[in-house]
Structure 1
Amino acid sequence: MKSVLEVRDLTKQFVKDDLGIVALRDLSLEIEEGRFVTVLGRSGCGKSTMLNMMSGLMAPTSGVVRFRDEPVTGPRTEVGYLTQSDTLMPWRDVRRNVEMPMEIKGVEAKERRERAADLIERVGLTGFGRHYPRELSGGMRRRASLARMLAGGPEVLLLDEPFGALDAQLRFELQAELLRLWQGSGQTVVFVTHDIEEALLLGDRIVVLGRIGRVVLDKAIDLPRPRDADELRVDPHFVALHKEMADALRETR
């Protein structure tokens, strides 16, 4: 299967108080088209730095990111990025937030409205299109952010612990929603998390990162879809995979 996104010998160093701080060193990774890849790692291992460079928002110190064999030198419409923080425009209501990527691409107003209405319905926000971000719960803002990312029609979705700040039940609902939206879309997903169960529930493949981006484990996940979290928790194969991931994370200390 062809790689849609590739990082080769990726290194990022920041300078603080005249000291060089290495956030990522010599990371190489290929992301195959149409796959759901979960990147699992502890805080501080370089996961977010990796996504920032994959998205083109941050330049590497050395190494290269390629999208379909072309070097990534800045943000591109084929790659959508949902960060940990809330980036909805506070002065725009939900509908106009979702329309924003289409405005940038020059899509006509009528088509924008129709597409935005469809996405708002698909993420479970019907009736909230005229609400502003301040009027929404945290979970609803995450849904709106997901709809906005999808509105641009990206080929690759980069998600940086998008549900980490939510309560367990809401996180489960949005995980299921994301899988429903992804399945059959042909899109490629790179989903960063520190939660083993989330990584197993979502991913076709799990990449475990250690300190400064060292790949500790890279494993295909053969759990059948659709996946039900309650059923998986008592599945012997899931339990064995969970232990393997936990052991790999312990190596990253």
Structure 2
Amino acid sequence: MSDTGTSTVIKMGGLGKQFVKDDLGIVALRDFDLEIAEGSFVTVLGRSGCGKSTMLNLLAGLTPPTWGSVAYRGEPVDGPRTEMGYLTQSDTLMPWRDVRRNVELPMEIGGMPAARRRERAAELIGKVGLDGFEKHYPRELSGGMRRRVSLARMLAGDPETLLMDEPFGALDAQLRGDLQAELLRLWTESGQTVVFVTHDIEEALLLGDRVVVLGRVGRIVLDRAIELPRPRDADELRVDPHFVALHRELTEALREGAR
């Protein structure tokens, strides 16, 4: 499914991945089909072990599919692409670089002149609310602040599409809420495409304009447009009858996917 009237930026067809462990083939994803429209915010919801992270790694070009295909703007994805930024669950900041130099890294790799790198890094650090922390090292920051640095570093590569694998899962509810709001603000300003993986129903509904619910080995149980008005406030949403009905529908889809 893709939104009518907008172009498809990502297309996965018949996608599958098998890993070999102790001479046994373990299928993590089977016959997975998904199209994603440009500029959309798609949340992929599923329980642990359903193939969400495998799907994202295939989409990012970090691992080759066993069968099927991944295309980005009609071109096969056979390795990482600069058009896609990837924010993983784990902290991948370089401990020996301060905040500014961590954010500068993608621009440095891309050959951007030093003065322009510093200027752009300062702008992004401000965007994620970390002004004044440019000279701090990752070990001196809280978990939430490190996530902000990781977000700024991903944006520094100027990607068209953001791939996010449960990026706020390890944070407390307040911090998670702050970063969700930050991400939505950045997405609204940029028009980027976002594929956001989560196991949290409320997060999927708060962020996405489309939710894809996965069952075992990546079976799509539900593919649902979310027509809740934006901006969305979590506290107000919880008492919205439409939200409550969607929450119930997604809960049932997750149950079905586990069968």
Task: Give the TM-score normalised by the residue count of structure 1.
Answer: 0.99
The whole-number CA distance in structure 2 between the counterparts of 1:175 and 1:186 is 16
Q: Structure 2 length normalisation: TM-score?
A: 0.97
**What's the counterpart of residue 7 of structure 2?**
2
| Aligned 1:203-214 pairs, distance under 5 A | 203-214=208-219
Give the alignment of 1:63-82 within 5 angstroms.
63-82=68-87
Q: Deviations over 1:72-109 (max 9, x none)?
A: 01001100000000001111111011001111111111
Three-state SS of the structure 2 residue aligned to 1:191 is: strand
2:254 equivalent to 1:249: yes
Distance of 1:106 and 1:27 partners within structure 2: 37
Listed as ranges, the gaps of 5+ residues in structure 2 are 1-5
Counterpart residue type for residue 103 of structure 1: E
Give me the whole-angstrom Cα distance separating, in 2, the residues matched to 1:24 and 1:170.
32
The CA RMSD over aligned residues, in Å, is: 0.5
Match in the other structure for 2:236: 231
Which residue of 105, 119, 127 maps to 1:122? 127
Q: Match of 2:3?
A: none
Q: Which whole-Å deviations, capped at 9, do the CAs of 1:42-94 have from their partners, x for residues lacking one? A: 00000000000100111110111101000001001100000000001111111
Please report how far the alpha carbon of residue 16 of structure 1 lies from its aligned counterpart in structure 2 after TM superposition.
Answer: 0.5
How far, CA to CA, are the matches of 1:3 and 1:92 in structure 2? 38
Determine the C-alpha separation between the residues in 2 that align with 1:157 and 1:30.
Answer: 15
1:124-180 deviations in whole A, cap 9, x for unaligned?
A: 111111111111110000000000000010000000000000000110000000001
The corresponding residue for 1:166 is: 171
1:202-252 alpha-carbon deviations (Å, 9 max, x no partner): 000000000000000001000000000000000000000000000100101
Unaligned runs of 5+ in 1: none
Question: Aligned partners of 1:147 and 1:52: how far apart in 2?
Answer: 21
Aligned to 1:106: 111
Taking the aligned partners of 1:133 and 1:184, their CA distance within structure 2 comes to 27
The AA in structure 1 aligned to 2:252 is D
2:29 is aligned to: 24
2:97 partner amino acid: R
Instruction: Give the structure 1 partner of residue 142 of structure 2.
Output: 137
- For 1:88, the aligned partner's letter is L
The DSSP-based 3-state class of the residue aligned with 1:176 is helix
SS at match of 1:89: coil
Amino acid paired to 1:90: P
Equivalent residue, structure 1, for 2:44: 39
| Corresponding residue to 2:151 among 146, 152, 155 | 146
User: How far apart, in 1, do the equivalents of 2:182 and 2:210 lie?
Assistant: 19
One-letter code of the match for 1:215? Answer: I
Distance 1:91 1:7 in 2: 38
Residue identity matched to 1:132 = Y
Runs of 4+, deviation exceeding 2 Å: none
Q: Match of 1:159, as an amino acid?
A: M
Provide the C-alpha distance between the structure 2 equivalents of 1:27 and 1:17, rounded to a whole number of angstroms: 25
